[in-house]
Structure 1
Amino acid sequence: MIYDIALGIDYAYAARSDRSRTLMRLSPPDLPGEQRVLSRSLRIDPAPDECRDWTDFFGNATTAAVWHAPIAGLRLSVSLVVDRLSPAPLADLSPALADLAGVLALDRDLGPDAPHHFRRPSARVPAVPEIARFAHDLARPRATVIDTVRTLGRAIHAEMRFDAAATSVETGPAQAFAQRRGVCQDFAHVMIAALRELGVPAGYVSGFLRTEPPPGQPRLEGADAMHAWVRAWAGPANGWVAFDPTNDRWAGQDHVVVAQGRDYLDVAPVLGALRSAGGQASRHSVDMTPRGA
């Protein structure tokens, strides 16, 4: 499926900002067997005085922009054409949950995609006792890792309610789980915390979700903005598998990956620093349209 994707992010500052610096992860990667980026462009307005591109440790395309003079706002416009390939049927060749620690002990890889980077608490996903109890109550030691991922994802979907007004980008998984409400970022962080508690390496994926579903299917939650879901390491035979707990489904042709990391902080679409006064307003829009629709 080929998608045309347009992303717009606007910031307006109450007072002109001084010496603004912005870090962006907005360009999807080519992922063998999963997706191909056919074209991409990023427009920054006003144009920065300095701009640099590189690939971070986890393989995410990163752009840094700096403005020397004060600016009153910022607009980021991304235009993409992405071929999202049909995923192969998921055959469960993963080890039993009780055997996963032994399998991980044999894995000596420390590259960017190695499971060892995703086993422990991270900056935005600390250990949360309530989530740990929730995970252990659901765990079955002889269940496979893939079955455990599916069970946890579905349980979190059933337990929590999508509510765009309940949390902010700064909300941690403990608060989101305690109130059982949040957005896709919160669903993903809660699931990551639960999987890690059970010894399953788990990470965060940011990306785009198809705005309009196929005929006869319900509209997915989170399609009006950049989306988030979870990847989990299911052993050497299956490798990384991806589950969307917000929508209770395996990530598939409706999902386009932009960045991957341990949690939101590794993949935040926009991070920055500026010196200003008063508040700021922001607006975020996504349009992801299949060609021929």
Structure 2
Amino acid sequence: MGMSQTYDITLRIAYVYDSPAAAHRTLLRMLPRNLPEQQLLYGAVTTDPAPSFRVDDVDFFGNPVTEVTHDRRLSEIDFRFRGRVLKHAPAGGLDLSCGLSLLPVELGQIRSIAPDSPHHFLGASPRLPAAPDIAAFARDCVSPEMSALEAADAVSLALNAAFTFDPKATEVTTKPVDAFRARRGVCQDISHVMITALRSLGMPAGYVSGFLRTIPPKGRPRLAGADAMHAWVRAWCGAETGWVEFDPTNAIRAGTDHVTVAIGRDYSDVAPARGSLRSAGSHKTTHQVDVVPV
């Protein structure tokens, strides 16, 4: 695990329509974030064919968003990000997080409702209603004397042990509680369940979409989920520690292998391509990701 790592990244999302689509509008969240531990050195989001209209902006949570419209019939469309990112290892060290039971007190002292404020990440969100089954699982994972960080680690490890990684078990629209009951799914499902679990314990938690390196360091196994966009969890562990990122799919903390694209309350805030179009018939989507250490 080095102090920092540079990656060349390519993401391609392609749609092919049986019956050409007219009036196509898409919101893209494909450009990696600039964060204290991560810099986008260069890179761009492009579309083929070129759009009739394009605007680049930033959403409430600070994620780069590209809006494109195509006002003619399209039988296929290609969205790409190509670029280079520098990623620094997160600061490790002592557990300075507050006790799990003290989180409500520390939250109460936070007056900010800025985008990074934990208050946005505590209640139910569009894809994540409260789920008594998941809350009961979460309570069994933790004990009152744990620190917030220990509790989040415990939930992450327990979900990793309980779940079988299974790309065929779920769709992008699968409800987290259904994936939880089946104990099968992909990183999106496992992350949604972990966020629901942490929130039920009074811990603010959010969803991170991004990339995992596709070529592991020598002697280390390839991480699950590296061949598509990945998802993991950020949890607020008190005022002193702040946000910490966990990858429950791989039972690890997120580190130099993880490149952040977007942060939100759940998948609905960070979907890489969200479109509306008029078309008859079905369409096929392909996602390709390459994250190559430089």
Give, in angstroms, the shift of residue 70 of structure 1: 1.1
Q: How many angstroms apart in 2 are the aligned matches of 1:148 and 1:71?
A: 49
Q: How many angstroms apart in 1 are the aligned matches of 2:187 and 2:179?
A: 11
Q: How many angstroms apart in 2 are the aligned matches of 1:192 and 1:151?
A: 13
The residue number in structure 2 matching 1:193 is 196
The residue number in structure 1 matching 2:287 is 284
The residue number in structure 2 matching 1:19 is 23
Q: How many angstroms apart in 2 are the aligned matches of 1:138 and 1:122?
A: 23
| 1:222 equivalent among 225, 233, 236 | 225
The residue number in structure 2 matching 1:81 is 84
Query: Quick one: which amino acid aligns to residue 226 of structure 1?
Result: M
Give, in angstroms, the shift of residue 80 of structure 1: 1.2
Give, in angstroms, the shift of residue 139 of structure 1: 2.0
| Residues 1:262 and 2:265 are matched in the alignment | yes
Query: What is the TM-score when the length of structure 2 is the normalising length?
Result: 0.97
Q: How many angstroms apart in 1 are the aligned matches of 2:129 and 2:165?
A: 22
The residue number in structure 1 matching 2:58 is 55
The residue number in structure 1 matching 2:254 is 251
Q: CA RMSD in A?
A: 0.7
| Residues 1:2 and 2:6 are matched in the alignment | yes
Please, which moves more after superposition, 129-138 or 245-254? 129-138
The residue number in structure 1 matching 2:184 is 181
The residue number in structure 2 matching 1:72 is 75
Q: How many angstroms apart in 1 are the aligned matches of 2:289 and 2:141?
A: 36
| Residues 1:31 and 2:38 are matched in the alignment | no
Q: How many angstroms apart in 1 are the aligned matches of 2:106 and 2:93?
A: 20
Query: What is the TM-score when the length of structure 1 is the normalising length?
Result: 0.98
The gaps in structure 1 that reach 5 residues or longer are none
Closer/same/farther in 2, CA of residues 155 and 169 from structure 1, 3 Å limit: same
Give, in angstroms, the shift of residue 182 of structure 1: 0.4
SS at match of 1:278: coil
Q: How many angstroms apart in 2 are the aligned matches of 1:168 and 1:137?
A: 28
SS at match of 1:148: helix
The gaps in structure 2 that reach 5 residues or longer are none
Deviation per residue, 1:71-108 (Å, 9 max, x gap):
11110111010001122214211111111101111110
The residue number in structure 1 matching 2:143 is 140
Deviation per residue, 1:151-201 (Å, 9 max, x gap):
000000000010001001001111100100000000100000000000000
The residue number in structure 1 matching 2:237 is 234
Identity across matched positions, percent: 50
The residue number in structure 1 matching 2:47 is 44
Any runs of at least 4 consecutive aligned residues in structure 1 with deviations exceeding 3 A, and if so which? none
